[in-house]
Structure 1
Amino acid sequence: MSLLLALAGCLLTGFQAALILYRGNGICFNEGCAIVDSLTLVSPLYFNLAGFLFFLLVAASIHQARKDSPIWQRFVSVLLISGFAAEAVLFSFQLFVTKVFCSYCLIIFGLVVFANIFIGLKQIFRGCCIFTAIVMAFASLDFGVDAGPTEKSLEYGSIARITISDSTHELYFFFSPTCPHCEAVIEKLKDGVACTVNFNPIAVLDTFSFPGADRASEYTPQINIDFLQSLGISNIPTLVDKYEGGITIWTGSDLIETFLELNCQVERPESLSEITENRGRIGQSEGRPLLLDGPEKNCSVLEDCEKGPGSMEESFNQQSVVQ
């Protein structure tokens, strides 16, 4: 039975690797795969190739062990328990760090677990001991992420920055080139802004231009993705307002535009009631981030919004890079 499970693992990981290689993404039954993949340093392609080689080696070793070879039998036992340990680490990572499970990863985990079970009672005992030790080790560690945006960390995710010397607000604007609601906020900012603004994209941009902005020599979009995920934010546009006394986080283009009109517009409006009417809540925080989430007009971090005429991606491609 362990041989059949190993062959099934070969087929599954090999097929997944082929899909990633030729289509760019594999099969998964939930959004957990994308989240887990974004938090690993190794490409999913290499993970699946390693899995394919592992299951292939297990299958070949089991075939040799059936010839009553004690050496191959011990080797199969060590190989499977090593795979069980690796899967236990990945399982604990999803349980305690990402807080979401990858459905495909759980299938592979199940194949490794049952392959060990069919080896015998001793293998089951070893596997339970190793799994329990790894889970307890992860449970004893603190993987908490400081929810407050630090200038140092988010600075490395900024592609450009508008600096206003006397600004009492430092803003971090999270956006995507394929999000039309992000484009609406960008256009609002072009009307004039009296706050310091950092532009933090969630994807690599070939070009980016904004009047008066200083372009960063390098930036890392993954920092921005990790920051949003650490707060449980799955939509853009998102605006982080860092000011003396607290942090406020705004999502949705309506709420963000309202905030900009009230706090960062060069010429403040005569009547605030006209702006705030039907626009949502306005708030501040003391000591910890306050998340104000707009009900609509946003895009998912994990997938692009539907592109329309004059999308922001097209706008970026038509502009020159800020020097």
Structure 2
Amino acid sequence: MVAAKALTAKNRLLGIRTMEAPPLERKLAAILAADVEGYSRLMNANEEHTLALLTHHRAIIDRLIEASHGQIFGTAGDSVLAEFPSVVQAFDCAVAIQQSLWHANNPFPDDEKMQLRIGINVGDVMVKSGDIFGDGVNIAARLEALAAAGGICVTRGVRDHLRDKVEAKFEDCGEHKVKNIARPIRVFRVVFDERAQPGNIDEPPVDEIDNSANGGQLRSADAEIVFWQSVQASESMEEYRLYLDNYPNGKFAELAKNRLSDPAQAEDPSVEVTFWESIRDKQNPALVRAYMEKYPQGKFRSLAKILLDDLSAPSP
């Protein structure tokens, strides 16, 4: 400790600025987690149509989240994670997304429809270096996995907050024990009219998907960006090839080529998350160093550095 203080004083005398870790912000937030039900099945059946439809759906989802004052923190292929300043805004956005996608899916046969599952939780979260994490986020993700295709599941806290503020009904699905959460979660299924026109949100229009025989491609000017967002975290080399087929001179063409030449760059991001979750509570410096060596630019590098410093500090 004395040596550290002396070093800091020396740096000040020499005019050297010490690098500080980005601040860790804790706050109460409403979290929306969503993913596409049966995405792998749809990709196996028709990759081009599925990616075009995902691009179109993501344009709808992203604009609805923005119109609801939400902030998107994570998009990995077919999944979305967003934070909202209020539970009502998160809920209205979730309902509007499901209603909008019902109408977007309506022209397609059942086996080609792309439906979302959504979970909403309100709880304590941590924000650091552009990432959001904590039990509040994990619970929302577990709820999404419990939701039906086209459906929404919420926690008791969300239900209690919304009970007198929205027209939807809540069906009690009982308590569920979920992975990495110590206590069982009381889950409620939202009962709403999925065929109704979305309300309560002033959403900008989204171009329709072209279902003609020559394409199934989005006519929106930002289609390429949304397309890339849908494949950038993929571990499938075919999705990068499909991007290059559609956008050989696109904004992300060089990055797609690099990932095709080095498949390790396209590693599934969930592998890193699983790695971190498996070692963060072990109080073992060697495991933390192993994470930092494997993921030198990883999502949790700042937290890993803080944890390693704590574990390496001499006992008082």
Q: TM-score, normalised by structure 2?
A: 0.23
Structure in which a larger fraction of residues adopt strand: 2
**TM-score under structure 1 length normalisation:** 0.23
Structure label with greater radius of gyration: 1
